[in-house]
Chains A and B, each alone.
Chain A
Amino acid sequence: MDEQIRKRIEDDLKKNKVILYMKGTPDAPLCGFSAQAANILKSYNVPFKTFNILEDEAIRLGLKEYSDWPTFPQLYVNSELVGGCDVMTELHNSGELGKMLEKTK
């Protein structure tokens, strides 16, 4: 992955404490898992940014390498990969996701 892409990713992660890289947008998700992930985030009143990876191939490929995670969505909180839809759902159900998001306020 070239440095320019890595830098763009890292800048985005620094600027946004909670960012969901997904397929489509929260209001027009293009994949069931992305929709579920966005809905989970909406259930917390915490501001979050989303990034439609289908509109940026370089970021889409760069992220897979950056996070060592082969699929989307990918949630990052405080620049740390929290996980994909499965992990988010489990952490949401166990209450751990709420605690993580509280820390970003």
Chain B
Amino acid sequence: MVITEEIKKTIEKAVPHSTVYVLDPMNDGQHLQAFVISPSFEGMMLVKQHQMVLKPLKEAFASSVHALALKTFTPKKWEEVRGEYKFF
């Protein structure tokens, strides 16, 4: 399975009711980008949101992924900002 698919599935399992987009802008399988939208982030400190996403990805980081640029949103926040991201 492609690394972006693998990571997408891992995050979806770890973050309840999440919508996940994983991109490989440099097409190298190492410097990835992920957008994670979920109501479970409501009222959660930003670092805790990221920890929730990153925790299950430890193996991925140990093996191939060098960096994951991560953005997390509640559904409400996502509606506000999604226009800023041209690939949506």
Contacts and interface: CB of A to CB of B under 8 A. Distances in A.
Contacts of B57: 70
Interface residues of B, number: 15
Contact of A86 (B55, B58, B71): B71
A91 B46 contact: yes
Interface of A: 33, 64, 68-71, 81-84, 86-87, 90-91
Nearest to A84: B50
B80 to A, nearest CB: 13
B54 interface: yes
Contacts of A68: 51, 54-55
Give the interface centre of A64, A82, A87 by most chain B CB atoms within 10 Å.
A87
A8 to B, nearest CB: 22
B47 A82 contact: yes
Interface of A is mostly: mixed
B78 interface: no
Nearest to A94: B46
Contact of B50 (A33, A64, A86): A86
Contacts of A69: 51, 54
A90 B71 CA distance: 9
Given A70-B61, A71-B61, A91-B46, A86 B70 contact: yes
B14 interface: no
Contacts of A84: 50
